[in-house]
Amino acid sequence: MNVLIGHYNYWIVIFLMMAGLYVVIAQGNLVKKIVGLNIFQASVFILFISMGKVEGGTAPIVTQGVSLYSNPLPHVLILTAIVVGVATTALALALVVRINEAYCSVEEDEIHQQDQSF
């Protein structure tokens, strides 16, 4: 029972993560793949942040009379990771715009077909 209560949040996060990854792998639409990638990454962020949570702690900003804080390190890592994520997204979307101009399509299999016939 303890295992269930102690870990259920991680399982939810894993489910979200895998939903995102599934969209990335299974979908053929390039925009949808990017959305999936973002969901995958956002869920990894939740995993990190939930491991930083401390029972009874407050936000990691030093205040008088408080001694228990959440772990600030995962927060810092995820701040950096979010920035990395948005940088990747911007680049991926720019690529999609260019691909659409070159192939007039954002469907993976249509692009593949055009490459083969060419």
Partner 1 sequence: MITQHLPILQVIIPLLTAPVCLLVQDRRFAWGVSLAASWTAFLIAALLLDQTLEQGVISYELGGWSTPWGIEYRVDTVNAFVLLIVTAISSAVLLFAQRSVAREILSTRIPLFYTTFMLCLAGLLGIAVTGDVFNLFVFMEISALSSYTLIALSEQRRALTAAYQYLFMGTIGATFILIGIGLLYMMTGTLNMQDLSQRLPAVTATRTVETAFAFLTVGISIKLALVPLHLWLPNAYAYAPSVVSAFIAATATKVAFYVLLRFMFTIFGASFAFKSMPLSFIFMALALAAVFAGSTAAIFQDNIKRLLAYSSIAQIGYMILGISFASVTGLTAAILHLFNHALMKGALFLSLGCVVYRLGMANMEQMRGLGRLMPWTMAAFVIGGLSLIGVPLTVGFISKWYLVVGALERGWWPLAVAVLVASLLSLVYVWRIVEAAYFQPPSPVRAGEIREAPRSMLLPTWALIIANLYFGIDTSLTVGVASQAARQLLGVSE
Partner 2 sequence: MIRLRNLFAVVMLFGIYSFLTASLFVTLNAVDVAFTEAAVGAGISTFLMLSTLALTVRREKVRRKRTVIPLLVVTIIGATLVYGTFDMPYFSDPSAPLHSHVARHYIEASADEVGVPNLVTAVLASYRGYDTLGEVTVIFTAGIGVLVLLGYRKRSGKS
Partner 3 sequence: MRPPIQPHNLVLRISAKMLIPPILMFALYVLFHGETGPGGGFQAGVIFAAAIVLYALVFGIGLARAVATERLLRVLASLGMLLYVGVGLASLFAGANFLDYDVLAQERLEGQHLGIFLTELSIGMTVSAVMMIIFFAFAERGVRR
Q: Which is nearer to partner 3, 63 or 116 (CB)?
A: 63
* Residue from 11, 15, 58, 98 in contact with partner 1 (CB under 8 A): 98
Dist. CA 15–CA 5, nearest whole Å: 16
Should residue 79 be labelled a site residue for partner 3 when binding is judged by CB under 8 A? yes
Should residue 84 be labelled a site residue for partner 3 when binding is judged by CB under 8 A? no
Dist. CA 22–CA 32, nearest whole Å: 11
Of 93, 86, 54, nearest to 70 (Cα)? 54
Should residue 24 be labelled a site residue for partner 1 when binding is judged by CB under 8 A? yes
Q: Is residue 20 packed enough to be buried (19+ CB in 10 Å), middle (13-18) or exposed (0-12)? A: buried
- Choose the contact partner of 56 out of partner 1, partner 3, partner 2, none; CB within 5 to 8 A by kind: partner 2
- Shortest Å distance, C-beta 90 to partner 3: 5
